[in-house]
């Protein structure tokens, strides 16, 4: 659709260099010195030349674009926006551009966006799989040899690298902290029960209760969508119990914020009347009032690590699957009440 298509020859003329020098600059070759490169790039910007990467890819025997794809399952959860920002930091400095697509938990949409990304020759893919993704869904992608890093959620049997959090240890630490503050009725709120992440976190909850010699009550496990609205719904149901919980470990920070909202709607003060712990450590966890105690995954950091893992595979030229479980740590802020506060409050009751 271009009006007057600028060619490599136009650029070579304007910059006073040879056509092949321009080509080398376009290919980011190290054979061109900095001064020449800067001059050529200035002319390219000035004339508005667009490198036809599609054509270039077809011409090159070793077809490589400079795109990293990232496909997430819920862009409205700020965790994924932060993850994408982390990925961007790393791929940008490596000379890649990141294209992001959202599946909104639809396996069908996931198939479409991955197909489109493959058509456009992505160098690698970071995928937080939609709920219900099976190894078969990733089979042809794996067979193609494109490096893939699954984040957040693993897909059983898929032969791709994965970077997930230590869900069991994170929730266990949170439960032990609450038990140490004197809580006996600790709820586990939010999350879809049909996901591996939920199972791992729930197991961490159960094991920690047993470790602390606390009874496990199934009624204290209230699943919901892993969103702020889901958190409001979950705490509503938990507050209807005859014996109410006094604390909750939430599936993620979004749920935890919703739980805080729901508590306030009942005139209960999160951090004072009810202890709340999240999972993720999104940016808002620090600035929220009360600041959220949470299991820190550091979404941007996870994005950076996933990007580094992917780039390593791209540069190695082969996709050898690695499974990495990131350690997590409990960051204690105000939403769970401090040990001393708790004792003070209990002594007043």
Binding range to a second copy, per CB under 8 A, among 81-89, 209-217, 272-280, 341-349: 81-89
Among 7, 18, 60, 92, binds a second copy (CB under 8 A): 92
List Cβ neighbours of 102 (8 Å cut-off, separation of 6 or more): 71, 72, 73, 74, 75
d(CA 263, CA 273): 9
Q: Nearest-5° angle of CA 11, CA 16, CA 19?
A: 55
Cα 31–chain centre separation: 38
115 is an interface residue for a second copy by CB under 8 A:
yes
Residue 145 Ramachandran class (φ > 0 left, ψ -120 to 50 alpha, else beta)? left
Tell me the closest approach of the beta carbon of residue 282 to a second copy, in angstroms: 9
Q: How far is the CB of 81 from a second copy (least distance, A)?
A: 5
Q: Which range of residues in 97-105, 195-203, 216-224, 234-242 is near a second copy by CB under 8 A? A: 97-105
By the rule CB under 8 A, 159 interacts with a second copy: no
192 binds a second copy (CB under 8 A): no
For position 288 contacting a second copy by CB under 8 A, the verdict is yes
Residue 261 CB burial class (10 angstroms; 0-12, 13-18, ≥19): middle
Number of residues near a second copy (by CB under 8 A): 64
Q: At what angle do helices 78-93 and 299-316 cross, to 10 degrees?
A: 40
Which one among 42, 97, 316, 339 touches a second copy, defined by CB under 8 A? 97
Does residue number 110 form part of the binding site for a second copy (CB under 8 A)? no
Does residue 102 touch a second copy according to CB under 8 A?
yes
- Shortest distance in whole angstroms from residue 25 CB to a second copy: 14
* Interface pick for a second copy out of 11, 113, 155, 255 (rule CB under 8 A): 113
Beta-carbon-side half-sphere exposure of residue 188 (alpha carbons within 13 Å): 29
Q: Rounded to an integer, what is the distance from CA 296 to the centroid of its chain?
A: 13
Interface with a second copy (CB under 8 A): 1-3, 45, 48, 50-55, 57-58, 63, 65-67, 75-76, 78, 81-82, 84-85, 88, 92, 97-102, 104, 109, 111-113, 115-121, 139-140, 143-146, 228-229, 232, 258, 260-262, 264-265, 283-284, 287-289
């Amino acid at each position: 659709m271009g009006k007057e298509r600028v060619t490599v020859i136009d650029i070579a003329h304007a910059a006073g260099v040879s056509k092949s020098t321009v080509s080398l600059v376009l290919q980011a070759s190290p054979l061109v010195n900095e001064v020449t490169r800067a001059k050529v790039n200035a002319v390219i910007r000035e004339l508005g030349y667009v490198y036809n990467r599609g054509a270039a890819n077809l011409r090159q025997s070793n077809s490589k674009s400079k795109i990293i794809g990232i496909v997430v399952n819920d862009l409205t959860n700020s965790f994924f926006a932060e993850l994408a920002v982390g990925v961007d930091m790393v791929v940008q400095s490596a000379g890649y551009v990141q294209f992001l697509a959202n599946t909104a938990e639809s396996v069908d949409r996931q198939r479409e966006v991955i197909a489109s990304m493959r058509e456009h020759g992505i160098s690698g893919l970071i995928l937080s799989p939609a709920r219900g993704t099976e190894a078969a869904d990733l089979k042809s992608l794996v067979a193609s040899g494109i490096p893939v890093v699954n984040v957040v959620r693993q897909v059983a049997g898929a032969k791709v690298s994965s970077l997930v959090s230590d869900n069991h240890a994170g929730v266990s630490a949170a439960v032990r902290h609450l038990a140490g503050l004197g809580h006996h009725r600790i709820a586990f709120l939010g999350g879809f029960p049909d996901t591996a992440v939920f199972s791992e976190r729930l197991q961490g909850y159960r094991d920690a209760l047993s470790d602390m010699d606390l009874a496990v009550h199934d009624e204290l496990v209230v699943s919901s969508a892993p969103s702020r609205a889901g958190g409001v719904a979950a705490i509503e149901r938990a507050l209807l119990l005859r014996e109410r919980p006094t604390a909750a470990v939430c599936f993620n920070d979004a749920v935890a914020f919703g739980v805080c909202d729901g508590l306030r709607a009942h005139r209960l003060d999160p951090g004072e009347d009810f202890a709340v712990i999240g999972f993720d450590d999104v940016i808002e966890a620090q600035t929220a009032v009360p600041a959220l105690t949470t299991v820190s995954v550091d979404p941007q950091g996870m994005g950076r690590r996933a990007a580094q893992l992917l780039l390593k595979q791209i540069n190695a030229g082969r996709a050898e699957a690695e499974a990495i479980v990131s350690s997590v740590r409990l960051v204690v802020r105000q939403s769970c009440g401090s040990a001393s506060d708790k004792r003070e409050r209990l002594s007043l009751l």
